[in-house]
Amino acid sequence: MLDLAIIGGGPAGLTAGLYATRGGLKNVVMYEKGLPGGQITQSSEIENYPGIKEVVTGMELMEPWPEQCMRFGLKHEMAEVTRVSKTAAGFFKITLAGGDEALAENVIVCTGSTPRRAGFKGEDAFFGKGVSTCATCDGFFYKDREVAVLGGGDTALEEALYLANICSRVYLIHRRDSFRAAPSTIEKVKSNPKIELVLNSTVKEVYGDASGVNGVLAEDKEGNVIDLKVPGIFVFVGMNVNNGVLKQDDGSFLCDVNAQGEVIVDLGMRTSVEGLFAAGDIRIEAPKQVVCAAGDGAVAALQVVARSL
Ligand code: FAD
Ligand code: NAP
């Protein structure tokens, strides 16, 4: 029986593990399907994590976390959790992708969020062949070439700036004429000579052939279509929360979620089910920041420690 199972090894899960084990819990496992670090490891730069004065990549930021967070006995199991459910005896059952199961007295769900698809024609067919959601991973394929970016939030604008360092031109396509990103980022984008704004427009279609994308058709509000002959488009249109592990056989969720599927928690990161906590991007009103996810993980772990006294 685990004292605590943590699902997900991003900033929230790692920090939860640090605080739980340092708080005295002995049998704590963090299930992470990939390498620990979370989605920020895909980011080309982060400059708002307190205490880190330099602009660093997400990978650089997260590199020391696993060692520090595991120093007090947190165990990492590289496994995908398919479901968290409740047993008749009142414990939590953790089911893994291979069918293995574990029992836990407490669970903190920290499965974060993943990039949303925009829904234009060709998006799925060309995904990985010119359509990408990760500039750090795929930007270099377009060195000295033109690319398109779709979206008007922090991610789209920051990644457009990153791509402008590598590519000859970046067409930033946004469905409105104002952005929802941080004002300083908007200023940088507007003053970057390599970024061309395509405003009040959406992507209608991405076309290409067996070798990948050849172009993007963008349509403005009057129905005018422009044909951008680019080999790549980066889609940054928001995030979906990864709440799949909470789905039960009958389609219901183990705990209360809102209309967007975000887990409803109180200030202690407690869900509607005793012993079940949610931390980081998956929770309601998450500011979707590394510092907040880490803070949530600490708060949830301290609640579990208090429950176990
Ligand atoms: P995540 O980081 O999403 O981690 C969740 C983890 O759970 C993942 O590692 C995933 O593999 C794992 N997981 C999911 N499902 C399962 C499962 N079923 N079984 C096992 N493991 C599972 N924030 C900032 O503060 N500053 C920035 O500058 C910034 N820039 C960003 C740039 C980009 C491109 C992106 C995508 C995000 C950025 N963010 C930034 C947001 C920040 O990355 C997130 O808010 C933060 O990572 C959320 O942490 P989390 O631990 O809640 O979830
Ligand atoms: P976001 O803030 O939700 O922005 C999504 C953008 O995509 C919006 O501009 C939206 O347009 C547009 N969009 C949505 N659906 C679309 C569609 N189908 N077709 C075309 N455009 C579409 O998402 P995000 O930029 O990924 O940011 C997610 C969270 O992480 C935010 O809270 C953000 O602040 C945070 N984040 C922070 C940092 C940082 O602090 N430096 C960096 C990255 C992310 P509208 O504007 O018209 O709605």
| Farthest CA pair distance, the chain | 65
Residues 6+ apart with CB under 8 A from 184: none
Given the residues 124, 137, 177, 256, select the one marked as catalytic. Answer: 137
Tell me what pLDDT residue 82 has.
Answer: 98
Q: Ligand 1: distance of its center to the CA of 164 in Å? A: 24
Q: What is the pLDDT of residues 229-246, one digit of tens each?
A: 999 999 999 999 999 999
Tell me what pLDDT residue 42 has.
Answer: 84
List Cβ<8 Å contacts ≥24 apart for 181-186: 181/152, 181/153, 181/154, 181/156, 181/157, 182/154, 185/154, 185/157, 185/158, 185/161, 186/157
Q: 206 near 130, Cβ under 8 Å?
A: yes
For the ranges 24-33, 72-81, 127-136, 199-208, the lowest mean pLDDT is seen at 127-136
Q: Is the pLDDT of residue 309 over 90?
A: no
- Average pLDDT score, the chain: 96
Domain 4-115+239-308 CATH (choose: 3.50.50.60, 3.40.190.10, 1.10.3720.10, 3.40.50.620): 3.50.50.60
Q: Is the pLDDT of residue 150 over 90?
A: yes
- What is the separation, in whole angstroms, between the first and last Cα of the chain? 17
Q: What is the pLDDT of residues 260-293, one digit of tens each?
A: 999 999 999 999 999 999 999 999 999 888 999 9
Give φ, ψ of 218 to 5 degrees: -110, 140
Q: Is the pLDDT of residue 255 over 90?
A: yes
Query: Where are the chain's structural domains?
Result: 4-115+239-308, 131-235
Tell me what pLDDT residue 45 has.
Answer: 79
**Whole-angstrom distance, CA of residue 71 vs CA of residue 3:** 17
The pTM is what?
0.86
Q: Is the pLDDT of residue 43 over 90?
A: no
Same topology for domains 4-115+239-308 and 131-235, yes or no?
yes
Q: 214 near 204, Cβ under 8 Å?
A: no
Tell me what pLDDT residue 16 has.
Answer: 98
Q: 30 near 77, Cβ under 8 Å?
A: yes
Q: What is the pLDDT of residues 6-26, one digit of tens each?
A: 999 999 999 999 999 999 999
DSSP 49: S
Any catalytic annotation for residue 138?
A: yes
Does the Cβ of 40 fall within 6 Å of ligand 1? yes
Mean pLDDT of 281-309: 95
pLDDT band, residue 44 (cuts 50/70/90): confident
Q: 234 near 133, Cβ under 8 Å?
A: yes
Any catalytic annotation for residue 137?
A: yes
Mean pLDDT of 27-55: 92
Place of tokens 């002995």: 26
Q: What is the pLDDT of residues 154-192, one digit of tens each?
A: 999 999 999 999 999 999 999 999 999 999 999 999 999
Closest ligand to C-alpha of residue 183 is 2
Q: 290 near 40, Cβ under 8 Å?
A: yes
Closest ligand to C-alpha of residue 292 is 1
Q: Is the pLDDT of residue 206 over 90?
A: yes
Does the Cβ of 21 fall within 6 Å of ligand 1? no
> Which residue's alpha carbon is nearest to atom 38 within ligand 1?
40
> Which residue's alpha carbon is nearest to atom 34 within ligand 1?
43
- C-alpha distances (whole Å) from 154 to each of 132, 166, 183, 266 are 17, 19, 10, 27
Q: 92 near 276, Cβ under 8 Å?
A: yes
Tell me what pLDDT residue 212 has.
Answer: 94
CATH class of 131-235: alpha beta
Mean pLDDT of 93-101: 97
Residues 6+ apart with CB under 8 A from 160: 149, 170, 172, 189, 192, 195, 234
Tell me what pLDDT residue 280 has.
Answer: 98
Q: Which atom of ligand 1 is nearest to the CA of 282?
A: 52
Tell me what pLDDT residue 214 has.
Answer: 98
> Which residue's alpha carbon is nearest to atom 52 within ligand 1?
280
Q: Is the pLDDT of residue 136 over 90?
A: no
CA nearest to 72, candidates 13, 22, 31: 22
Give residue 220's identity as a one-letter amino acid code.
D
Helix/strand/coil for 244: helix
